Amino acid sequence: VFLSLTVAAHLALLLLLVGNATLDGVVLAGYLVYHGMVGWAVVHPRSRLFGPNRSRLDTRERVVALTFDDGPHPQITEQVLAILRAREARATFFLIGKWVERYPEVVRRIVADGHTIGNHTYAHSYHLWAFGPQHIADEVRHAQRSIASISGRTCRLFRAPVGLKSCFLNPVLKRQDLELVSWGLRVPSKTDRDSLLRRLRRRVVPGSIVLLHDGHDRKPEGHPQIVETLPVVLDELDAMGYRCVPIG
């Protein structure tokens, strides 16, 4: 509703202005710039126009935070945990509430292994950024309750589905004592070794928050390729002198 009202109001404004001399050019330019900014703020993972948004750890140490989104997944998450355990690496898992309820034992294993868990909404709607404040609050609270009742932990970190934000998101997170976390670089689950290594060498800096996926919001198979990609990532980070830490 919010979105359609906004669109309607702007279309009406445009119709009023069309055909009214040079001032229109200025108004139109302002309109385009404004919408460019808002669009960028919604889409860009590191944008802060709508409020605080952590995309990097505040450190000069050679540490990185690996983050896994869209789980828990009954098979993939277990394999990811085994890989991390073997290398004594700690990470952060942003969990989808509906999967938390379906695979509670995986959530407990993540916590038992010493990883941090975060809230990634209940249903992982791609349109969360277009919802009103009440709808966003419900989505966040629903996941928060499911995760707490199953894991015994209260999440302090939140990641928006697909990283899309809105002006309503931050006030909701503040009221529920959650911090918005995005990322500095994304590692695709399926990638060839050379471009993966190039990406890591070019983009990783002290405190980088790295986005990876174990589960999938829709596909039951999750992201099986992560099982091949993750050891390459860990080996390369190790070779670069980086240690993996959970987001504190």
Binding site for Zn ion (CB under 5 A): 69-70, 161
Q: Whose CB is nearest to Zn ion?
A: 69
Kindly give, in sequence order, each residue whose CB lies less than 8 Å from that of residue 243, ignoring residues fewer than 6 positions away: 61, 62, 63, 64, 89, 237
Which CB sits closer to Zn ion, 161 or 184? 161
Q: Minimum distance from CB of 43 to Zn ion (Å)?
A: 14
- Catalytic positions, written as ranges: 69, 213
Which CB sits closer to Zn ion, 70 or 214? 70
Q: Minimum distance from CB of 211 to Zn ion (Å)?
A: 9
Helix axes 104-112, 133-151, angle to 10 degrees: 70
CA distances from residue 188 to 49, 70, 132 in whole angstroms, order as listed: 26, 14, 31
Q: What are the beta bridge partners of residue 179? A: 157
For the stretch 170-205, what's the b/e string if a residue is b when 16 or more beta carbons lie within 10 angstroms of its beta carbon? bebbeebebbbbbbbbebbbebeeeebbebbeeebe
Which CB sits closer to Zn ion, 181 or 242? 181
Amino acid letter at 159?
Answer: R
Q: What are the beta bridge partners of residue 93? A: 68, 117
3-state secondary structure 25-67: HHHHHHHHHHHHHHHHHHHCCCCCCCCCCECECCCCCCEEEEE
Report helix, strand or coil for 183. coil
Q: Minimum distance from CB of 246 to Zn ion (Å)?
A: 18
Which CB sits closer to Zn ion, 107 or 242? 107
Cβ-contact 163, 169 below 8 angstroms:
no
Which CB sits closer to Zn ion, 47 or 182? 182
Q: Minimum distance from CB of 70 to Zn ion (Å)?
A: 4
Cβ-contact 8, 2 below 8 angstroms:
no
Which CB sits closer to Zn ion, 211 or 245? 211
